A and B are shown apart, each in its own frame.
Chain A
Amino acid sequence: SALTQPASVSGSPGQSITISCTGTGSDLGGYEYVSWYQRHPGGPPKLIIFDVSNRPSGVSYRFSGSKSGNTASLTISGLQTEDEADYYCSSYTSWNTLYVFGTGTKVTV
């Protein structure tokens, strides 16, 4: 089943926020293959973190990822209005589905 994320997180410009992503030992706890995606309304998802804590080229340093046990986290520091979007975590899983996504978190700035 889907990874669990808070439905919404809000913050003021310049603040830091953290989005949690909770799974099980069959997904987050079993693999170092956690990724995070940003999706603005009407657009496709954009990869912002891969393999737990790596940023693709061109993604702001303000985005950082980590994992402990069955929970992964995305931190956005120095919050900007352009960060207002939906965020999804994802993990490889040993279930038949191979890849599972989180329930999604709406970030409001």
Chain B
Amino acid sequence: EVQLVNSGGGLVQPGGSLRLSCAASGFTFSNYWMSWVRQAPGKGLEWVANIKQDGSEEHYVDSVKGRFIISRDNAKNSLDLQMYSLRAEDTAIYYCARGGTHYYSSGIKYFDYWGQGTLLTVSS
């Protein structure tokens, strides 16, 4: 059974940093692009970042470029999102999701499994 388990959320002051993690199991993690998707309170879903199977390629939504770093450890079947210079508008539930492949790569162009989500609150 495919499982994605999110962890690491919490309350952070503006300007602070936090690292989110996602533990994957039940599938060959190294075969898939992985993504982070967030949902701010009262808002819709927003794709945040993705990373290629071997970690050699990453993409980000413009609003987090230069502040967030997505990474993965295929030996540990884990996906991380390191967040810096956090802003109030980053407050959201963050989900890791399997998929979200870049157009020029083979792989699924959708998100077929999702973690349960972890809440990040940026507030003073």
Q: Please indicate the chain B residues that have their CB under 8 angstroms from the CB of A96 in the complex.
A: 59, 61-62
CB-based contact A47/B44 at 8 Å: no
* Contact A50 B95, CB 8 Å, known A98-B59, A99-B100: no
* Contact A46 B114, CB 8 Å, known A90-B45, A100-B47: yes
Q: Please indicate the chain A residues that have their CB under 8 angstroms from the CB of B84 in the complex.
A: none
CB-based contact B108/A50 at 8 Å: yes
A contact residues vs B (CB 8 Å cutoff):
2, 31, 33, 35, 37, 43-47, 50-51, 56, 88, 90, 92, 96-104
What's the least CB distance linking A19 to chain B, in Å? Answer: 13
CB-based contact A47/B112 at 8 Å: yes
Cα separation A47 to B8 with both chains bound (whole Å): 24
Given contacts A90-B110, A90-B111, A104-B45, 5 further A-B contacts (CB under 8 A): A33-B110, A46-B114, A50-B110, A92-B103, A96-B59
Cα separation A51 to B117 with both chains bound (whole Å): 24
| Interface residue? B46 (CB, 8 A) | yes
Q: Which of B77-121 contact A (CB under 8 A)?
A: 95, 100, 102-103, 108-117
Q: Mark B38-58, 1 if CB is under 8 A from A, else 0.
A: 000000111100100000000
Q: Which bucket holds chain B's interface residue count?
A: 20 to 34
CB-based contact B111/A35 at 8 Å: yes
Point out the residue from B103, B108, B114 that lies within 8 Å of A45, measured CB to CB. B114
CB-based contact B46/A101 at 8 Å: yes
What's the least CB distance linking B112 to chain A, in Å? Answer: 5
Cα separation A47 to B99 with both chains bound (whole Å): 11
19 example contacts (A-B, Cβ-Cβ < 8 A) are as follows: A2-B44, A33-B110, A35-B109, A44-B114, A44-B117, A47-B113, A50-B108, A50-B110, A88-B45, A90-B110, A96-B59, A96-B61, A97-B47, A98-B47, A99-B100, A101-B44, A101-B47, A103-B44, A104-B45
CB-based contact A45/B111 at 8 Å: yes
What's the least CB distance linking B116 to chain A, in Å? Answer: 6
Q: Lowest 4 A-B CB distances belong to which pairs?
A: A35-B110, A33-B109, A99-B47, A44-B114
CB-based contact A44/B100 at 8 Å: no
Q: Please indicate the chain B residues that have their CB under 8 angstroms from the CB of A97 in the complex.
A: 47, 61-62
